[in-house]
Amino acid sequence: MNVLMVTGSYPPQPCGVGDYTARLVEELRRAGVSVDVVTTADPARRDTTGIVQQLPDWSAGSWRRALGELPLGAYDLMHLQYPAKFYGHTPAQALMTFAARAAAPALPRLVIFHEYRIVHPLRRLTVGALAAWADAVTVTAVSSAVPSSLSLPA
C-alpha cells in the first residue's frame, strides 16, 4: 500500500499534530506501508527522508501546484491531518479535499480531525468543507460537539 500523508506540521516544527503524524508515519512504515509526506517547508528541517513536497504556504495555488507535481496515481490513499498550526489560517484549506478529488477522483481521501471540540465556530466551516469531499472522516477524541450524524466507534 502507498499512502500520501498530508500534514501542515511535521518535525522539527513544534506541534502535537505534527508529532502524532510523524509517529503514525513511522509505525505505518514499520508495518510495510510506503508513506510519502507533504508538509510545510521549514528551513530548520535537516532530515527530509520520505518528504516529497514542502510547501511554502497552503494557499490554493500552492496546494494545486503540489497536486500537479505528485504522481497521484501511485497512491492508494491520501491521509490528511487537520488542523495543524503550520497550515496557517486561510479559507483555502477548505478546498484541499475538493482539489484532491478533482486532481485524482479515484484516490480515496481520509481526513483525521484533531482537536475538533475546541475548533472555533467559524473554523468549523473549513472542517465541514474538508469532510464533504473526503471519503472517510475520523476524529481523535469523542466530543459532544461532534454532530450525531458522524458514526463513532463505541
108-130 pLDDT tens trace: 999 888 876 666 666 666 777 78
Q: What is the structure's pLDDT at 142?
A: 64
The band of 71, judged by pLDDT with boundaries at 50, 70 and 90, is: very high
Please give the grid coordinates belonging to residue 104: 485524482
pLDDT at 70 exceeding the cut of 90: yes
Q: What is the pTM of this model?
A: 0.84
* Helices vs. strands in the chain: H and E counts, helices first: 4, 6
What burial letters (b/e) apply to 99-127, b meaning 16+ CB within 10 Å? bbbebbeebebbbbbbbbeebeeebeebb
* Residue 63 near residue 99, CB atoms below 8 Å: yes
* Residue 137 near residue 131, CB atoms below 8 Å: yes
Helix (H) or strand (E) segment spanning residue 124: helix 123-132
> Mean pLDDT across the chain, nearest whole number?
84
Please give the grid coordinates belonging to residue 16: 502535537
Please give the grid coordinates belonging to residue 36: 510519502
Q: What is the structure's pLDDT at 57?
A: 92
* Residue 97 near residue 110, CB atoms below 8 Å: no
